[in-house]
A = this chain, B = another copy of it.
């Protein structure tokens, strides 16, 4: 492995001059530069970033921590982060926790160790206390799914309002018996449920049967079964994720419902599955790419300018009306 010293010797210059060429700084004569380039070529030299990083005390790496890559919602969010990071010379890497706090701690330690410059959390599995003590010292942003009560910048939609809009859509179609499939322990689900209940309350409806899933198809199917069996009067279901909404459609069909004729279903996220299923799924869409992009922007500001006032960036959601919801007969 050739080092900068080898290149310098071969080109008959000092390491400083080689370094100048490597970093594209001015003030190197063309012919010196040529000699150095030739030496680099001949020696098949690659700069060792370990030395550079130690010297500069930064790596240009940022981590995105999420539970799993199997959730297709994240794909576009991450793309927004990657492209925005790349535009400012940061390399984005994805770290999966599988909801294991020890794995998450291990990745945060990479930032403590200075092997990465900062971290974006999507759906952290640590406590607010633990996260808070970390984020006081290191650059952190939360995106989309978040832990409340932690002083990080947050980029998300207004989940309460989105839940309100989902319920409004059903209410305006005439539905008065609406069930919800929520997810325990995620703050966004709580907010969506709160918004849904606020909309129902405006129509004088106090009763909102709720069952819980964990974002898997199976759990959504079970939750829907439970709702429909315990509350046969239900004419509509709002699920806080598309996967669970699709499962609810199937569960409804298996219980002799027809969607949307006797059962309307609305989901959340607008993933590919939502327009592939039959009937296609009405859902709430988030600006995924923009969420990721804004989160990365916030992180870079923090890395380069230090801790900021912790603003919360709220993005617009939209409702996408498809075949799975219809006016009550």
Q: Contact residues of A with B, CB < 8 Å?
A: 46-51, 53-54, 57, 59, 61, 63, 68-70, 72, 74-75, 78-79, 82, 86, 91, 93-96, 98, 103, 106-107, 109-110, 112-115, 217, 246, 250, 272-273, 276, 278
Can you identify 10 A-B contacts, CB atoms within 8 angstroms? A46-B112, A47-B113, A48-B113, A48-B114, A50-B113, A53-B53, A69-B69, A69-B74, A93-B95, A217-B276
Bound CA–CA A115/B54 (angstroms): 12
| CB atoms of A70 and B72 under 8 A apart | yes
Residue of B nearest to A66 (CB): B69
> Which residues of B lie under 8 Å from residue A47 when comparing CB positions?
113
> Which residues of B lie under 8 Å from residue A82 when comparing CB positions?
96, 98
| CB atoms of B72 and A115 under 8 A apart | no
| CB atoms of A68 and B61 under 8 A apart | no
Query: Of B91, B250, B278, which one neighbours A110 at CB under 8 angstroms?
Result: B91
Query: Of B74, B75, B106, B276, which one neighbours A246 at CB under 8 angstroms?
Result: B276
> Which residues of B lie under 8 Å from residue A50 when comparing CB positions?
50, 53-54, 57, 59, 113-115
User: How far does the Cβ of A145 sit from chain B's closest Cβ, in whole Å?
Assistant: 16
Once A79-B98, A91-B106 are accepted as A-B contacts, the answer to whether A49 and B113 lie under 8 Å apart by CB is yes
| CB atoms of B94 and A95 under 8 A apart | yes
User: How far does the Cβ of A138 sit from chain B's closest Cβ, in whole Å?
Assistant: 10
> Which residues of B lie under 8 Å from residue A59 when comparing CB positions?
50, 115
> Which residues of B lie under 8 Å from residue A273 when comparing CB positions?
273
Bound CA–CA A69/B273 (angstroms): 16
Query: Of B53, B93, B276, which one neighbours A93 at CB under 8 angstroms?
Result: B93
Further pairs besides A49-B114, A49-B115, A93-B94: 13, Cβ < 8 Å: A46-B112, A53-B115, A54-B54, A61-B115, A69-B94, A78-B96, A79-B98, A86-B103, A91-B110, A94-B96, A246-B276, A250-B276, A273-B273
Bound CA–CA A302/B94 (angstroms): 23
Query: Of B63, B72, B112, which one neighbours A72 at CB under 8 angstroms?
Result: B72
| CB atoms of B217 and A272 under 8 A apart | yes
> Which residues of B lie under 8 Å from residue A61 when comparing CB positions?
115
